[in-house]
């Protein structure tokens, strides 16, 4: 059986995707920056209910050619998940833009050269809906303009990297197909021992660090549902050359609404979640459509409230809410 390559298997989404692929009976090869994280990754996929015997872990960095040709050898399917997503934005946007763009191009070229059938790229809603528009209603037809005034380095990096991927496919993609998944804010249980930026936000709400909720509204999608959408995007012939927004049904939520769900559903565990929103103007409530993934790929995301509650329960169960963590 030819292995499926997942880049960034050590991450929050990557580890859930590796576990989902292994559970479905695939053999999986994954890249990490440092093989020192191999045992931690094996433990994570076992926590995700998968047998790690079918997992091979290799080293490759988005900023270097070394290792990519070997990582792709014998693969017909690639999920390119790795991209820098820091908790705090760097002063120099190139710290994110360069690895995001160059890494995507490096993986796609290596995939093309290895004769890979299809690559599914994890982009983001940040590449779709971060340029304000009247009505704030977004579908896969929308694009974030990387030159939008005030756009933070991370959304710029995702918009630039995804655009570069489609440009390469059009110019010089060979026979390999590209499908793009564009998740909104990813929440839900983590398999890894380190917390990414979205789980840090839930932790901050629960441990009282976030005493006032920032005034922002966002879409939510469960990490397990994004992994499932990656699998569907790889399998469906008609997905080739298309983007798929990944967001739970229903309205986008504000931080204070998320805090309200936590307090309402979890009682004492969420007693310190913020009740007040930072002062400021009311921003438009974005409307983000998931019809394409639902109708064309049969994708059925969990309700956002379930994801929020299970994020908090996971933080509690892994001990992240104990003093000093």
By annotation, the residues acting in catalysis are: 158
- Burial degree of 133 (CB within 10 A; 0-12, 13-18, 19+): exposed
> Closest separation between CB of residue 88 and ligand NAP, Å?
13
> Closest separation between CB of residue 268 and ligand NAP, Å?
27
> Closest separation between CB of residue 11 and ligand NAP, Å?
2
Smaller CB separation from ligand NAP, 257 or 264: 257
Residues 6+ apart with CB under 8 A from 268: none
State the residues that interact with ligand NAP by CB under 6 A.
8, 10-14, 32-33, 37, 61-63, 81-85, 99, 122, 124, 158, 183, 185-186, 196, 198
Smaller CB separation from ligand NAP, 196 or 260: 196
Smaller CB separation from ligand NAP, 62 or 309: 62
> Closest separation between CB of residue 244 and ligand NAP, Å?
12
Comparing every residue's Cβ against ligand NAP, the nearest one is: 11
Smaller CB separation from ligand NAP, 62 or 297: 62
Smaller CB separation from ligand NAP, 223 or 309: 223
> Closest separation between CB of residue 135 and ligand NAP, Å?
23
């Amino acid at each position: 059986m030819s292995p499926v390559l997942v880049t960034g298997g050590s991450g929050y989404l990557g580890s859930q995707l590796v576990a989902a692929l292994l559970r479905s009976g695939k053999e999986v090869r994954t890249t990490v920056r440092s093989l020192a994280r191999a045992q931690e990754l094996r433990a994570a996929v076992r926590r995700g209910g998968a047998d790690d015997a079918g997992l091979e872990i290799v080293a490759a960095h988005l900023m270097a050619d070394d290792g990519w040709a070997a990582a792709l050898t014998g693969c017909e399917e690639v999920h390119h998940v790795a991209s820098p997503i820091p908790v705090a934005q760097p002063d120099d946007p190139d710290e994110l833009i360069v690895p995001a763009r160059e890494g995507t191009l490096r993986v796609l070229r290596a995939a093309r050269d290895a004769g890979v059938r299809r690559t599914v790229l994890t982009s983001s809603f940040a590449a779709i809906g971060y340029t304000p528009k009247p009505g704030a209603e977004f579908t896969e037809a929308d694009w974030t303009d990387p030159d939008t005034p005030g756009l933070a380095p991370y959304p710029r990096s995702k918009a630039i990297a995804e655009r570069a991927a489609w440009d390469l496919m059009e110019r010089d993609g060979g026979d390999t197909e590209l499908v793009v998944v564009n998740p909104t804010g990813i929440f839900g249980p983590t398999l890894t021992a380190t917390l990414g930026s979205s789980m840090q936000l839930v932790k901050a709400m629960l441990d009282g660090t976030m005493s006032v909720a920032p005034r922002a509204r966002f879409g939510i999608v469960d990490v397990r549902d994004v992994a499932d959408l990656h699998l569907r995007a790889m399998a469906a012939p008609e997905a080739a050359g298309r983007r798929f927004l990944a967001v739970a049904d229903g309205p986008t939520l504000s931080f204070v609404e998320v805090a309200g769900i936590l307090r309402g559903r979890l009682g004492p565990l969420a007693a310190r979640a913020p009740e007040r929103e930072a002062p400021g103007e009311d921003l438009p409530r974005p409307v983000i459509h998931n019809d394409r993934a639902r109708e064309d790929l049969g994708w059925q995301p969990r309700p956002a409230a379930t994801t929020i509650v299970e994020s908090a329960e996971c933080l509690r169960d892994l001990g992240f809410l104990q003093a000093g963590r």
